[in-house]
Amino acid sequence: MSHPSSLVRSPIDFVGHDVAALASHMQHCAQARGRWFATRHHLQQVRSVAAGRIVTIACVAALIGIGVLSVA
pLDDT tens per residue across span 34-57: 878 888 889 999 999 888 888 898
Q: How far apart are CA 25 and CA 14, in angstroms?
A: 17
pTM: 0.38
In the chain, at which residue ranges do the beta strands (DSSP E only) sit?
none
Q: Which residues contact 20 (CB under 8 A, 6 or more apart)?
A: none
Looking at every residue in the chain, the average pLDDT score rounds to 82
Q: How far apart are CA 45 and CA 17, in angstroms?
A: 34
For 30, the 3-state DSSP assignment is helix
